[in-house]
Amino acid sequence: MTAGEIAALVEGELVGDASLEVTSVHSLEKAGKSQLAFWERKRRGRDLPATNAGCVIVDRRTRAAGPTLIHSSHPRRAFAKAIRAVMAPASHPAGIAPSASVASSARIAEGVYIGPLAVIGAGASVGRGSVLGPHVYLGAGAVVGRDCRLHAAAKVHGNVRLGDRTTLHAGAVVGADGFGFVFETDHYENFLQVGGVEIGDDVEIGANSCVDRGTLDDTRIGSGTKLDNLVHVGHNCQIGRHVVMAAQVGLSGGVVVEDYAVLGGQAGIGERARVGAKVQLGGQSGLLPDKTLDAGGAFWGTPARPLREQLSRQALVNRLPRLRDEVSRLRRRIEELEAS
């Protein structure tokens, strides 16, 4: 791909050699002559550092001798788009590895790749163009849409439906039993879980993350939602579209997360709580069961409070030594008054 083609793709303005051949991407520090890099000006930032990169995507103001520049009003987005074009993997060859165990009743569309030692259960179906890595498991009746990517040892139980272009990273588990028990006299009995999981299009589920099946109805994750690694989604959760959950977030059963919410790493949400649309929840926050975070707000802490309130609480606690000293001074002044 030439620098000129990249500039056209990202709708940037090229200054330099439009015919430069770009073969891959790298960081500004390490890129070489045939590589593309990008550079974002920090608030009080310096100019473009010295670089050997052949081509750099920069903001509109940056000028520099040496590399071919592509000016963009959103260098980061432009670079992300360019990477997808420059580094796009050749489409995966189709085929079923001879060592895979595929049930005869499974429906495998054209153009599907199934890796070595994968197991595809009875009646499972895999849509056109999907790529299943080694040791992947699809339970009986599981449904995988088109152009999905299931990495090594991703596990999809029966009663799970994945939309199109959805990615499960290595070791992710979708559709395990929810954690439901009833206490009987002196022990717990299972509350048998019979629901499923419904996952939309363009969803990502991180490595070793777990999404449990619903108790009676389905657990749902809307299209465009992205879950990082080691996330837990309990039974019956209803997660909207374009939600982001950072690593190690945990959702108890029956939690509702509305569209475009963003949950920071290690945040925990109690049973049946609701996170409103576009909420920004800080890392390690804890939302108590049955509570609601109003749409559009920023929240932090355990129990989760509006961010400003939380920060002002922290500031007040920070000033406690001063308050204690002030009270001591007042006591002495009162004693003087009393003595006079």
Residues 157-176 that bind its own copies (CB under 8 A): 157, 169-171, 173, 176
Q: Does the footprint of its own copies cover residue 104 (CB under 8 A)?
A: no
Q: Does the footprint of its own copies cover residue 323 (CB under 8 A)?
A: yes
- Name the one range near its own copies by CB under 8 A: 8-16, 39-47, 239-247, 290-298: 239-247
Among 248, 257, 261, 263, binds its own copies (CB under 8 A): 248
Output 96 or 119, the one with its CB closest to its own copies: 119
What is the distance between the terminal CA atoms of the chain, rounded to a whole angstrom?
Answer: 90
**Which strands form 137-138's sheet, in the order they lie side by side?**
101-102, 119-120, 137-138, 155-156, 173-176, 210-212, 232-233, 250-251, 268-269, 286-287
Output 19 or 27, the one with its CB closest to its own copies: 27
H or E stretch at 245: strand 244-245
Judge whether 16 and 55 are in contact, CB under 8 Å: yes
Output 110 or 338, the one with its CB closest to its own copies: 338
Q: Does the footprint of its own copies cover residue 101 (CB under 8 A)?
A: yes
Cα–Cα dist 173/199, whole Å: 13
242 counts as catalytic: no
Among 60, 63, 77, 308, binds its own copies (CB under 8 A): 77
Cα–Cα dist 289/172, whole Å: 26
Output 27 or 73, the one with its CB closest to its own copies: 27
Q: Does the footprint of its own copies cover residue 115 (CB under 8 A)?
A: yes
> Which residues 17-56 are close enough to bind its own copies by CB under 8 A?
24-27, 29-30, 37
Judge whether 147 and 130 are in contact, CB under 8 Å: yes
247 secondary structure, DSSP code? T
Distance of closest approach, residue 313 Cβ to its own copies, in angstroms: 6
